[in-house]
Amino acid sequence: MFYVDANPENILKLNIANHKKLNNITKIIIAKMKLNDESSHEDYFKLKNIIAIYVNEEIKTMHTRDINEIIGDYGFDNAVHCYKKNYRILDNITVRMLVYNIICNIYILTVDTEKKDAVRKIQSYIVAEKNRKKYIKKVNIKRESDYLIDKVNNEIKCDDAKLILNTIINKFVHRTMKALDKA
């Protein structure tokens, strides 16, 4: 299952005004798709065709001045290079086609839910494993400190020396636990 999502990051390093225009257009397109229950589909290519229809509708409503500003800001050569990455047809490239390419391939993301779920599971497993190792280290440190305190209490006769050594051990354990929490 694939679904559509907006890319809010300014990957192209456009100025803020043009980035906001493209981001708002993307959000409008996705909102229209969700309104018509077309924001997700089983087939990737059918979803891409649906996206193309909505993007073309939005580009038709844009002023040529806005389109020229976007391409001028991004750079015509950069826009053509980005277009060549995704399409084979290089005859009669128009500025509208370049903006279409930018919106479809950079601002609108097509996400595979199965891959996203798999990535989430792997990430949660890694986090759980890390937390488990940290917990085991803390338990081992606590056991060793308890052993040292018992040994100090059994072998040393002077109360002042016991108190000082117990304080040193407790400070060391406290610092070690803090260091583990930060890591």
Instruction: Grade residue 53 by pLDDT with cuts at 50, 70 and 90.
Output: very high
Instruction: Grade residue 47 by pLDDT with cuts at 50, 70 and 90.
Output: confident
Reduced to 3 states (helix: H, G, I; strand: E, B; else coil), residue 68 is: helix
Instruction: Quick: pLDDT tens for 95-118.
Output: 888 888 888 888 888 888 777 777
Residue 94 has pLDDT above 80, yes or no: yes
110 contact partners, CB below 8 Å, separation of at least 6: 2, 3, 4, 5, 44, 47, 48, 51
Given this model, what pLDDT does residue 74 score? 85
Instruction: Quick: pLDDT tens for 123-156.
Output: 888 888 988 998 899 899 889 888 888 888 888 8
Instruction: Grade residue 15 by pLDDT with cuts at 50, 70 and 90.
Output: confident
Reduced to 3 states (helix: H, G, I; strand: E, B; else coil), residue 135 is: helix
Domain residue spans in the chain? 2-112, 116-182
Maximum pairwise Cα distance, the chain: 95
Given this model, what pLDDT does residue 166 score? 83
Q: How far apart are CA 141 and CA 157, in angstroms?
A: 25
Cα–Cα nearest to 6, from 17, 18, 14, 28: 28
Residue 72 has pLDDT above 80, yes or no: yes
Residue 183 has pLDDT above 80, yes or no: no
Given this model, what pLDDT does residue 116 score? 76
Instruction: Grade residue 57 by pLDDT with cuts at 50, 70 and 90.
Output: very high
Given this model, what pLDDT does residue 150 score? 87
Q: What is the DSSP letter of 14?
A: -
Given this model, what pLDDT does residue 11 score? 77
Mean pLDDT of the region 149-178: 85
Residue 119 has pLDDT above 80, yes or no: no
Cα–Cα nearest to 59, from 90, 91, 104, 105: 104
Residue 59 has pLDDT above 80, yes or no: yes
Reduced to 3 states (helix: H, G, I; strand: E, B; else coil), residue 93 is: coil
Q: What is the DSSP letter of 12?
A: T
Kindly state the tokens that stand for 113: 């839910």
Asked whether 26 and 6 are in contact (CB, 8 A), the reply is yes
Residue 49 has pLDDT above 80, yes or no: yes
